[in-house]
Amino acid sequence: MKDEVINIFSLSLAPENFPEFKKLAAKIVAATSKEPGTLMYEYSVNDDHTVAHIIERYRADAVVSHIEETFAPFGEKFLELVTVTSLLVYGSPDAPTRKLLDGFGAVYMHSFDGFTRT
């Protein structure tokens, strides 16, 4: 995982905002799917549409461009519809990446054992 960064966002939302949030997420996913450095980008929601998660997996050098270029045009509307309640970050993001993720209240997790199968 040393050359990758994985982010897990937890979001709170009002159930009545879910249809609009779902449409916005589809636009963000479509834009993000064009990024070669994004390896996984998936939205999930609980049964009552009050909690959503985003699981993101990037090449370590791709996070900044995702946030500054791809996500930025959607950011204001995104934050009108949801509140970021937590962000867990796995991997070893560099200083510019950390600076951006810190704005979302990032908690950095440090791997100390395990493996990845490809």
Token pair belonging to 96 = 């510019």
Q: Do the beta carbons of residue 28 and residue 78 sit within 8 Å? A: yes
Q: Is-above-0.75 flag for pTM?
A: yes
DSSP secondary structure code for residue 85 in this structure:
E
The average confidence (pLDDT) of the chain is: 96
Which domains does the chain show, CATH number per domain?
4-85 (3.30.70.100)
Give CA angle at 17 (24, 103), nearest 5°: 65
More confident residue, 107 or 115: 107
**Is residue 2 scored above 70 in pLDDT?**
no
pLDDT in tens, 25-64: 999 999 999 999 999 999 999 999 999 999 999 999 999 9
